[in-house]
């Protein structure tokens, strides 16, 4: 009897910890709750270790994620997989066996807030392996340096170095890739790097080979407005909470974590900040850039007066290499055709939607692929054991777009 009572108590406690009220339209809510409970456990353990001075929270969190996810490179009957540097940056390469030659090519940057994850994680390995097989394409998944050891612009420099090498004659010939059918892609923070690289290389007239396409998966593109409608609507929706995104930004930009409350209050982008011009503000003016169905009832939060000097203290906030949404229209106009995936239940939804609109306004051909039941990170959950319906659909449509546009 006592064992039954104890079991019931433990089960109730577990259910209480796992249960989280979610929007009614989110895909398979119980799977998302379980995923969130796992992530919250990892993050709470990491925060505790950080507070006790055992190690930096990111180090433990990465160790936990790596223990669960990182796998060795292993080939199969249809795809050869190997770990090899690309422009001096560690990279996992997926080469289909047989098929047509030359092959299409995709360079991919993983997500994780510029601080977590790896292209060697099982989820990314499976994604890139599937891409290689379905597209009969060479996929290169880049392991750029991570915060806190590396801060902006080091992750960007790694992504740029790997991309330049990817486009080089030597690499194209080594892997037998078609120079006319190349794409830069990534998800979340990796989507940020992919967008920044696409802008930089589009302006480089010395390059003989350019990307034909850019494919951005729920990218993070700006850190001046933490009150877009999607930040307001989804601030408490897993797996990317609003405060966590602010923390990731501060880590990436090498800034003091004590600034987090200022970012979350939009004090850093108040009207009295001399470093933010009206032209800059127009580039992320969601009242003009978002369609009515995304703006809903939400109102802008723009402070008249804020915390002086934040932009000067953290110049990365205004650097287009960190915040590609702030790029000038003439720069955007030179970037390749784009695919931009967004999810309704994601704080980053409006970053992607605004970028898609600005690219379109600049004359770029854009495919905007929105998932009404999607959540942040869903595409990498297209496989067991956390397979989700929206994950499978989004991955299928992403690969289909690449197939039709490369």
Per-block mean pLDDT, blocks of 10 residues, the chain (406 long): 42 51 90 87 83 84 82 95 98 94 97 95 96 98 97 98 98 98 98 98 96 98 98 95 96 96 96 94 98 96 91 95 98 98 98 98 98 96 87 98 98
Q: Report pLDDT for 359.
A: 98
Question: What CATH number was assigned to the domain covering residues 66-221+332-405?
Answer: 3.40.50.1820
Phi, psi (degrees; rounded to nearest 5) at 322: -95, -30
pLDDT at 18: 66
pLDDT at 304: 93
pTM (2 decimals)? Answer: 0.94
Return the domain boundaries, the chain: 66-221+332-405
pLDDT computed for residue 56 by the predictor: 83
Residues carrying an active site annotation: 188, 346, 376
């Amino acid at each position: 009897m006592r064992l039954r009572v104890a079991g019931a108590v433990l089960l109730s406690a577990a259910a209480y910890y796992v249960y989280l009220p979610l929007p009614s339209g989110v895909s398979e809510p119980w799977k998302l709750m379980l995923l969130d409970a796992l992530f919250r456990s990892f993050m709470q353990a990491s925060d505790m270790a950080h507070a006790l001075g055992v190690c930096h929270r990111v180090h433990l969190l990465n160790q936990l994620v790596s223990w669960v996810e990182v796998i060795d490179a292993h080939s199969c009957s249809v795809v050869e997989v190997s770990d090899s540097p690309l422009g001096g940056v560690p990279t996992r390469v997926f080469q289909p066996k047989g098929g047509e030659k030359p092959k299409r090519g995709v360079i991919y940057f993983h997500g994780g807030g510029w601080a977590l994850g790896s292209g060697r994680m099982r989820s990314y390995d499976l994604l890139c392996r599937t891409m290689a097989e379905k597209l009969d394409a060479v996929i290169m998944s880049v392991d750029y340096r991570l915060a806190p050891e590396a801060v902006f612009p080091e992750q960007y420099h790694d992504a740029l170095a790997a991309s330049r090498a990817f486009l080089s004659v030597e690499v194209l010939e080594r892997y037998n890739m078609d120079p006319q059918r190349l794409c830069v892609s990534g998800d979340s923070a990796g989507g940020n790097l992919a967008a920044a690289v696409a802008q930089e290389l589009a302006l480089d007239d010395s390059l003989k080979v350019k990307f034909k396409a850019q494919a951005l998966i729920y990218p993070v593109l700006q850190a001046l407005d933490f009150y877009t409608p999607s930040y307001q609507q989804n601030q408490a929706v897993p797996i990317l909470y609003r405060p966590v995104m602010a923390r990731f930004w501060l880590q990436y930009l090498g800034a003091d974590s004590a600034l987090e409350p200022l970012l979350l209050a939009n004090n850093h982008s108040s009207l009295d900040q001399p470093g933010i011009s009206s032209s800059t503000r127009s580039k992320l003016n969601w009242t003009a850039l978002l369609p009515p169905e995304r703006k809903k009832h939400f109102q802008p939060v723009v402070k008249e007066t804020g915390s002086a000097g934040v932009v000067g203290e953290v110049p990365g906030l205004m650097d287009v290499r960190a915040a590609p949404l702030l790029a000038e229209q003439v720069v955007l106009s030179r970037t390749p055709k784009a695919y931009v995936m967004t999810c309704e239940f994601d704080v980053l939804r409006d970053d992607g939607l605004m970028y898609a609109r600005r690219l379109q306004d600049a004359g770029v051909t854009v495919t905007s692929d929105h998932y009404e039941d999607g959540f942040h990170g869903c595409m990498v959950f297209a496989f067991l054991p956390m397979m989700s319906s929206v994950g499978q659909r989004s991955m299928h449509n992403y690969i289909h777009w690449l197939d039709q546009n490369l």
